[in-house]
Amino acid sequence: MSSTQRRLAAAALLLVATGILVGFAHAAIVRYNTLPVLQYRAHWTAASLATQHGSREVIQAAGHKSYTYTRVVDAHTHIIKVATVLLLVVLVYPLISLPEKRKRTLAILFLAGNCAFPLGVLAEIYVRGRSAQALAAVGAMLIIVAFAGMLWGLLWGTAVRAEPS
Amino acid sequence: MDQERNRQFLQQQRTVTAAGAAFVLDQRSSAARFLVFGGISLILAGMLLGEVFAIFISHVASAHIRREWVANVIPAIEQHDLSAISVGYNRIEDLLERRGRIMDTHSHMIAYGFVALALALLQPMSKYSEPIRRALALCIVLGGLIQSVSVFASYWVIQQAREWAWIASAGGGALVLLGVLGSYTGLRGAPLRSDFAGETSRRLSSASSRILLRTGAFLILAGMVFGFYYAWVFVTQHEPRQIALLDDALNSAMSRNSSGATGSIMAYRALQSRIAIVTAAHSHVIEMGIMAMLLAFVQDFVFLSDRWKRRWATLFCIGGVVMPICTYCASIFGLVFAGFADTFGIMSVVALFAMLCGLVRHTGAIEARYAP
**Contacts of residue A147 in chain B, CB cutoff 8 Å?**
220-221, 224
Check B200 against A94: CB less than 8 A apart.
yes
| Among the partner residues B154, B181, B235, nearest to A133 by beta-carbon distance | B235
pLDDT tens digit string along B35-60?
999 999 999 999 999 999 999 999 89
pLDDT above 90 (res A80): yes
- What is the pLDDT confidence band of residue B218, given thresholds at 50, 70 and 90? very high
CB contact under 8 A, B96 and A37: yes
Q: Do B217 and A154 touch (CB under 8 A)?
A: yes
Contact: B201, A94; criterion CB under 8 Å: yes
What's the whole-model pTM score?
Answer: 0.91
pLDDT of B108-136, one tens digit each? 999 999 999 999 999 888 899 999 999 99
Interchain CB contact of A143 with B (< 8 Å): yes
Please report, rounded to a whole number, the percentage of residues in chain B having pLDDT higher than 90.
71
Residue A164, amino acid:
P
Residues A4-49 pLDDT 10s: 899 999 999 999 999 999 999 999 999 899 999 999 999 999 888 8
Show residues of chain B in contact with A3, CB under 8 Å. 192
Q: How far apart are CA A114 and CA A139, in angstroms?
A: 7
CA distance B306 to B257: 66
Question: Average pLDDT, stretch B247-254?
Answer: 89
Q: Residue A120's closest CA among A105, A145, A150, A141?
A: A141
- Residue of chain A with shortest Cα separation from B252: A51
- CA gap B13, B33 in Å, rounded: 15
Q: Do B251 and A51 touch (CB under 8 A)?
A: yes
Q: Write out the DSSP string of A80-124.
A: HHHHHHHHHHHHHGGG--S-HHHHHHHHHHHHHHHHHHHHHHHHH
Test A43 with B122 for CB contact under 8 angstroms.
no
- Average pLDDT over chain B, rounded to an integer: 89
The pLDDT tens digits of the residues spanning B67-97 come to 999 999 999 999 989 999 999 999 999 999 9
| d(C-alpha B56, C-alpha B143), whole Å | 28
B358 or A50: which carries more pLDDT confidence? B358
CB contact under 8 A, A147 and B221: yes
Which residue, among A88, A100, A144, would best test binding to B if mutated, counting the most B CBs under 10 Å from its CB?
A88
Contacts of A161 in chain B (CB under 8 A): 201, 205
Q: Is the Cβ pair A46, B121 closer than 8 Å? A: no
Arithmetic mean of pLDDT over chain A = 91
CA distances from B334 to B53, B80, B273, B340 (A): 17, 35, 11, 11
A-B contacts at Cβ under 8 angstroms: 174
The shortest C-alpha distance from B196 to chain A (Å) reads 5
Average pLDDT rounded to a whole number, residues B129-147: 96
Per residue in A108-118, is it b (16+ CB within 10 Å) or e — as a string? bbbbebbbbbb
The dihedral through the CA atoms of A93, B188, A23, B162 has a sign that is: positive
- Residue B217, phi then psi, degrees to nearest 5: -65, -40
